[in-house]
Amino acid sequence: MGSDNSSIEWRVEPGLTDYAYAESVMTGRAEAIAQGEAREMVWLLEHPPLYTAGTSAIAAELLDQRFPVHMTGRGGRYTYHGPGQRIGYVMVDLNLRGRDIRRYVHALEEWVIAALERLDLHAFRAPGRVGIWTMDDGVEAKVGAIGVRVKRWVTLHGFAVNISPDLGHFDGIIPCGLPDFAVTSLQKLGKNTQITAFDSALAAEFTRFLDRVSLSMQNEA
């Protein structure tokens, strides 16, 4: 039987959402979830152009501060957010679904990969490199970033998938601290995909994502 997702709020934000505002809302919601005062939530949005620095960020990897830089509590290093990129902030309670952070991160990656497969884009995980990868002109390139934080066993942050952003904006950083790997997008790969189509693909694969997250809990039952 698939996991019950009927109690999880699915919210799609129109337009561009200020990063500081989004982080404030996300943090407050996660705290409320931990206290049993709010439902779990998946929040899909886009940000205006900006860079974020994760807990492992190295100053030398910020090459050109052309956009605002936000320090954040998620894992990882520098990444870019901007129009044409689908951001997914995922706030689920691992107290209810299994306290296994590694399994959660893998499930998040597999969820995005499965959604991209529905859009006829083959993507994959790469050993030793967190994120979503695909082939671009015969070489591996990153099409999606993963960055999470877990507080009181409630997850924060999530994923960023490049649908049709300006890839030149990534030139101001060494994305995720990986100078030897390019960043790509569905648009660059010849996929004329709307963000709404990607949202629909995510929704179609959401129950399987919850099943993967909850697998450790099922094994303990």
pLDDT at 113 over 70: yes
The residue ranges of every structural domain in the chain are: 9-220
Between CA 8 and CA 14, with CA 12 as vertex, the angle to 5 degrees is 160
| Percent of the chain clearing pLDDT 90 (strictly above) | 79
Q: Which residue type is seen at 144?
A: G
CB 97 within 8 A of CB 7: no
Instruction: Choose the weakest-confidence range: 31-40, 97-106, 118-127, 177-186.
Output: 177-186
CATH, range 9-220: 3.30.930.10
Phi-psi region for residue 166, left (φ > 0), alpha (ψ -120 to 50) or beta? beta
The first and second tokens of residue 166, run together, are 């300006």
Query: What band does 137 get if pLDDT is binned at 50, 70 and 90?
Result: very high
Cβ 123 vs Cβ 135: under 8 Å: no
Name the residue type at position 56: S
Question: Between 70 and 6, whose confidence is greater?
Answer: 70
The residue-averaged pLDDT of 51-74 equals: 91
Helices (H), the chain: 19-34, 94-97, 101-118, 195-204, 206-220
**Backbone CA torsion sign across 196, 125, 128, 220:** positive
Catalytic residues: 176
Beta-strand pair 139-151/129-136: antiparallel
Residue type, 25: V
pTM here is 0.93
Q: What is the mean pLDDT of residues 177-200?
A: 92
Residue 50, both tokens: 């900006």
Mean pLDDT of 94-107: 94
φ and ψ of 156, to 5 deg: -130, 170
- CA distance between the termini of the chain: 14
